[in-house]
Amino acid sequence: MNNSSNTNQNIIITGVGGQGNVTLARLIGESVINDNKYITIGETFGASQRGGSVMSHLRIGNSKIYSPVIPLKKADLIIGLEPVETLRVLISYGNPEIITVSNKKPIIPANVLSGEAEYPLIENLEEKINYLSKKTIIENFTEIGIKDGHHLLSNSIISGVVSGLKIISGFNEKNFTATISKYYFGKTLEKNIAAFLKGFKMAEIY
């Protein structure tokens, strides 16, 4: 991915229904709307809130974007809220230039609970995600969020990391704060902004 002004960016946010996937896509999209002429979001709603795999396709750029659905192998950035889902999307949409930001915290599928399938070892998952990505940031963002007050702060930390990587034009602290202020107030808002800044700093190490 590069920052040149007429390159459209293809971002996939993936995870499990109920993780805030659709909200995160909207949050990033609304944050960068003024810096970009064209934005589309394609949301796979079917399994949302019902524990299935969920993907949002976010396309941002200065030249006309047609389909709200990203073609196979064409993602520039994957934001994964669950590691198996991150890998699943990498397999279908990955390419040698792809950058991946992923949560490490597993959500166990029903067929693993029943013993029909096995959940891979986290180290193994991490290795495969690295193997298919040009650059990877993978952490247990949920654990960091819990330490800071709520597990769902993980999504704001991840937003901060993505912003810190400076790959989505216009996705900065100012725009993020302006957007999230429309949805949250008071302490919740403060915590989310702090989480974003924490993520932003984390990206510097990479």
Partner 1 sequence: MYSISDMKPSEKKLMMGNLAFARGIIEAGASFASGYPGTPSSEIIEALAQNASKTGMYVEWSINEKTALETAAAASFANQRSVCVMKQNGVNVASDFLLHLSYSGTRGGLILIVCDDPGALSSVNEGESRHFAKMLEIPLLEPSDFQEAKDIVKQAFELSEHLKSIVMIRSVTRLSHASGIVEAKDSLNHKTDPYFHHSGFILDPETGPIMSTPVTYRHQLMEKRMEECQSFFNDSKINRYFGPEDPELVIITSSVDFLYSMEAIQELGLENKTGILKLVLTNPLPEKLINQFFLKTDSILFTEQVLPFIEEGVKNIYADNYNLDKKIKFYGKKSGHIPQTGETDTNIIINALSKIFDLKYSNSDENYDKKVIETAFSNVTPGREMTFCPGCPHRASYFHLNNAIKLDNSDGFICGDIGCYTLGMLPSGYSTLKTIHSMGSGTGIASGFGSLKKYGFNQTVLSVCGDSTFFHSGIPPLINAVHNQSSLTMIILDNSGTAMTGFQPHPGEKNTACGCEGMPVMIEEICRACGAKTHVLDPFNYDECQQKIPEIITQDNVNVIILKHPCALSPQRKNKKYYEIEIDHDKCLGNKCGCFNFCTKIFKCPALYLNTVTKKPEIDKTLCAGCGFCADICFHNAIIKKAAVNE
Binding residues for partner 1, rule: CB under 8 A, are 16-18, 26, 29-30, 33, 37-47, 49-53, 65-69, 71-74, 84-85, 87-88, 90-91, 94-96, 105, 107-115, 117-120, 124-125, 128, 131-132, 142, 146, 151, 182-183
Compute the least distance from the CB of residue 151 to partner 1, in Å.
4
Q: Pick between residue 5 and residue 49 the one whose CB is nearest to partner 1.
A: 49
CA atoms within 13 A on the CB side of 140: 10
Query: What is the Cα–Cα distance from 177 to 79, expressed in whole angstroms?
Result: 19
Sign of CA dihedral 176, 177, 179, 180: positive
Compute the least distance from the CB of residue 110 to partner 1, in Å.
4
The closest alpha carbon to 58, from 15, 90, 25, 19, belongs to: 25
Q: Pick between residue 74 and residue 135 the one whose CB is nearest to partner 1.
A: 74
Q: SS3 string of 86-103?
A: HHHHHHHHCCCCCEEEEE
Q: Pick between residue 14 and residue 200 the one whose CB is nearest to partner 1.
A: 14
Compute the least distance from the CB of residue 118 to partner 1, in Å.
7
Strand partners of residue 102: 80, 138
Q: Pick between residue 10 and residue 163 the one whose CB is nearest to partner 1.
A: 10
Q: Are the C-beta atoms of 179 and 141 separated by less than 8 Å? A: no
Q: SS3 string of 48-100?
A: CCCCCEEEEEEEEECCCCCCCCCCCCCCCEEEECCHHHHHHHHHHHCCCCCEE
Q: Pick between residue 115 and residue 204 the one whose CB is nearest to partner 1.
A: 115
Compute the least distance from the CB of residue 194 to partner 1, in Å.
19
Compute the least distance from the CB of residue 75 to partner 1, in Å.
12
Compute the least distance from the CB of residue 205 to partner 1, in Å.
25
> In this structure, what token pair is assigned to residue 30?
């609304």
| Angle of helix 173-180 versus helix 186-205 axis, rounded to 10 | 150
Q: Pick between residue 40 and residue 169 the one whose CB is nearest to partner 1.
A: 40
